[in-house]
């Protein structure tokens, strides 16, 4: 399949921190001209069968997807998995373990927010949660916007939910090697999500990609809703240099919060090997 394909291989539903159901997302992707779609909820594959069924009903091609939270060199890194067997037991078990710490972390976040005068944040965030095992910072952000503490979610993250801010709680996620192995051993391909978002210096970024490849990681997101056009070029060059295949995905979460809608990004630059070429046999 060609580079010029409207593939959207990064999106979130109510099964993690999106606001649409898998069926609503499928319909929106299809209406926007998406030809190949993947639902990639955080640390959770509970929406995969619904997403596949909805895509098939619309005649849209589908790849299974997930976005795993990983701790690498003291930072959170996201690894997208594509084209795996959604019934793989080891992957399901690894994701369950990764989700495990979220509830305690959320209660600690609420305790910290209470100390700066924001009360009831845990219960407030829970109102937005579609999956009790998946309370995330995004749900807190929605509560702080609802209660007019902040005007929008980027402001919440800036003022409260990022390192050094009063609602931020240090957390240990999955190991990089574990996440890559869970995905590849389930028959999928591991992809470094939105590398332009991490605060690594070039040495640490190089270490991330080197270690990722050593574990069997094969892809990198080049065109994503989190990158600037300059970063499309930067990470296209990196993909070529390191021999990684390239992915494209909006990272769509919500019609009112996301800057980029499903299927609306530029196509992948030429001379890259798209992930969907490598995953041809896994497309459903
Ligand atoms: P968590 O997995 O609970 O740490 O939450 C991470 C999620 O928060 C990401 O997947 C995004 O959806 C959201 N997020 C992170 N940083 C920002 C930001 N600066 N602005 C808006 N949303 C963000
Ligand atoms: Mn998210
Ligand atoms: Mn992410
Ligand atoms: Mn995402």
Query: Is the predicted pLDDT of residue 1 greater than 80, yes or no?
Result: no
Which pLDDT belongs to residue 134? 97
Residue 76's Cβ-side half-sphere holds a number of Cα atoms within 13 Å equal to 14
Query: Is the predicted pLDDT of residue 43 greater than 80, yes or no?
Result: yes
Which pLDDT belongs to residue 147? 97
Q: What's the pLDDT tens digit per position in 113-141?
A: 999 999 999 999 999 999 999 999 999 99
Distance CA 234, CA 4 (A): 19
Distance CA 47, CA 126 (A): 19
40 CB near ligand 1 (under 6 Å) = no
For ligand 1, atom 3: residue with the closest CA? 136
Q: What's the pLDDT tens digit per position in 53-94?
A: 999 999 999 999 999 999 999 999 999 999 999 999 999 999
The answer to whether 167 touches 72, Cβ cutoff 8 Å, is no
What is the residue-wise DSSP string for the chain?
--S---EE--B--TTTT-SS-HHHHHHHHHHTT-SEE----BT--TTHHHHHHHHHHHT-EE--EEEEEEEETTEEEEEEEES--TT-HHHHHHHHHHHHTHHHHHHHHHHHHHHTT--SHHHHHHTT-SSTT---HHHHHHHHHHTTSSSSHHHHIIIIISTTSTT------B-HHHHHHHHHHTT-EEEE--GGGS---HHHHHHHHHHHHHTT--EEEEEETTS-HHHHHHHHHHHHHHT-EEEEE--B--TTT-SS-TT-SPPPPTTS-BHHHHTGGG--
157 CB near ligand 1 (under 6 Å) = yes
Query: Is the predicted pLDDT of residue 5 greater than 90, yes or no?
Result: yes
Identify which of 17, 138, 168, 196 to mutate to test ligand 1's pocket (most ligand atoms within 8 A of the CB): 138
Ligand in closest contact with the CA of 250: 4
Torsion of CA 160, 165, 171, 176, to 10 degrees: 90
42 CB near ligand 1 (under 6 Å) = yes
Q: What's the pLDDT tens digit per position in 134-183?
A: 999 999 999 999 999 999 999 999 999 999 999 999 999 999 999 999 99
Which pLDDT belongs to residue 259? 92
Rounded distance from Cα 152 to ligand 2 centre (Å): 15
Distance CA 66, CA 78 (A): 10
Which pLDDT belongs to residue 90? 98
Q: What is the pTM of this model?
A: 0.98
Query: Domains in the chain, please, with CATH?
Result: 7-99+172-282 (3.20.20.140), 102-159 (1.10.150.650)
Instruction: Dig out the tokens for 226 from the structure.
Output: 């989190």
Q: What's the pLDDT tens digit per position in 269-281?
A: 989 999 999 999 9
Give the gyration radius of the chain's Cα atoms. 18
Query: Is the predicted pLDDT of residue 3 greater than 90, yes or no?
Result: no
What percentage of the chain has pLDDT greater than the value 90? 98
**In a 10 Å sphere around its CB, with 0-12 CB exposed, 13-18 middle and 19+ buried, how is residue 65 labelled?**
buried
64 CB near ligand 1 (under 6 Å) = no
**Average pLDDT score, the chain:** 97
The answer to whether 76 touches 169, Cβ cutoff 8 Å, is no
Rounded distance from Cα 11 to ligand 4 centre (Å): 6
Q: In what order do the strands lie in the sheet with 7-8?
A: 7-8, 36-37, 61-62
What percentage of the chain has pLDDT greater than the value 70? 100
Unique residue bearing structure tokens 């037991």: 89
Ligand in closest contact with the CA of 169: 1
List, in sequence order, every residue forming a beta bridge with 192; answer none if it has no partner.
79, 220
Contact residues for 199 (Cβ-Cβ < 8 A; gap 6+): 75
Which pLDDT belongs to residue 2? 78
Q: What's the pLDDT tens digit per position in 192-205?
A: 999 999 999 999 99
């Amino acid at each position: 399949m060609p580079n010029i394909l409207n593939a959207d291989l990064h999106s979130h539903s109510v099964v993690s921190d999106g606001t649409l159901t898998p069926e609503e997302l499928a319909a929106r992707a299809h209406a926007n001209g998406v030809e190949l779609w993947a639902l990639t909820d955080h640390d959770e594959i509970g929406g995969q069968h619904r997403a596949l069924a909805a895509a098939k009903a619309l005649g849209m091609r589908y790849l299974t997807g997930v976005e795993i939270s990983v701790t690498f060199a003291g930072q959170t890194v996201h690894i997208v998995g594509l084209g795996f067997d959604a019934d793989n037991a080891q992957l399901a078990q690894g994701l369950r373990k990764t989700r495990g710490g979220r509830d305690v972390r959320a209660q600690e976040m609420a305790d910290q927010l209470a100390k700066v005068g924001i009360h009831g944040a845990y219960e407030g965030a829970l109102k937005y949660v579609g999956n009790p095992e998946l309370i995330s910072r995004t749900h807190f952000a929605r509560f702080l916007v609802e209660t007019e503490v902040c005007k929008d979610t980027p402001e919440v993250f800036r003022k409260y939910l990022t390192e050094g801010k009063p609602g931020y709680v240090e957390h240990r996620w999955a190991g990089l090697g574990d996440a890559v192995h869970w995905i590849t051993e389930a028959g999928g391909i591991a992809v470094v999500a939105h590398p332009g978002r991490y605060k690594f210096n070039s040495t640490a970024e190089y270490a991330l990609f080197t270690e990722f490849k050593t574990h069997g990681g094969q892809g990198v997101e080049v065109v994503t809703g989190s990158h600037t056009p300059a970063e499309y070029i930067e990470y296209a060059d990196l993909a070529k240099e390191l021999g990684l295949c390239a992915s494209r995905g909006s990272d769509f979460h919500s019609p009112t919060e996301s800057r980029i809608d499903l299927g609306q990004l530029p196509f992948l630059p030429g001379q890259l090997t798209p992930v969907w070429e490598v995953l041809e046999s896994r497309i459903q």
